[in-house]
Amino acid sequence: MMTTAQNLGPVLALTDVAKSFTMHMQGGRPLPVIDGVSFEVGGGECCVLSGPSGIGKSTILRMIFGSYRCDRGAIIVRDGTTVTDVAAATAREVLALRRRAIGYVTQFLRAVPRVAAIDVVAEPLIACDRGAARAEAAVLLRRLGIPERLWDLPPATFSGGEQQRINIARGLLRDLPVLLLDEPTAALDAASTAAVIALIAEKLKRGAAILAVCHDDAVRSQIAHRLIDVTPFSKVLRP
């Protein structure tokens, strides 16, 4: 486990957050998932959500990203002098926040068919300068071991591990205040995993607040400054 973190103050803060889903196939019965989630993540700090599978860790990441709306509570993201409560933000405000402040690496690559891998990675920066964006994308693709002969091919033709590395490169292309990682090293070999760990360390040095879900004990011990146990917040484990 990492032992030092930059003391840049909380960049991400959750206060009394709750989430349930509506079971439409069961007459609209509510299914509580988590309740009372409260924690902070500082700049330059990596926190890893811990606890058994299925208790709501990925749900917490999705609420921070704005994919899920929470039932109650506040989700504060600080971007310089701008503070946004994701829980109260409009859809337009959430999209703007994602562009400027929140990166999200999931286990699943969602890419437009027939778009070249290098352009999938470069897309978050292409609006600024396509050539520069592709150059930065190329650096990450090399570091993650994606052969150059694959760069102009669509990622849908790649193996699962290659697609995951494309996903990671796209998510890490920009330096953003908040970075959400959902099993970032799943399906990766040892060399690719080491490259991802090194990239995470670089993001932390630049002041990112990182929140991750990681079931690999070896990886977790190398990236985490602190573990946040989701078990006390979980409604799934309660009768």
Residue 8 is predicted with a pLDDT of: 54
Residue 75 pLDDT class (50, 70, 90 cuts): very high
pLDDT at 128: 73
State the pTM of this model.
0.91
- 8 or 63, higher pLDDT: 63
Cα distance between residue 85 and residue 140, in whole Å: 32
Helix 130-143 / helix 117-126 crossing angle, nearest 10 deg: 130
Contacts of 39 (CB under 8 A, 6+ apart): 13, 14, 47, 228
Residue 234 DSSP code: B
- Rounded to an integer, the average pLDDT of 217-221 is 94
Please give the share of the chain, as a percent, with pLDDT higher than 90: 74
Residue 85, pLDDT score: 97
Calpha distance 87→66 (Å, rounded)? 8
- So what's the pLDDT on residue 111? 64
CA dihedral 25, 61, 189, 229 (to 10 degrees): -100
pLDDT above 70 covers what percent of the chain?
91
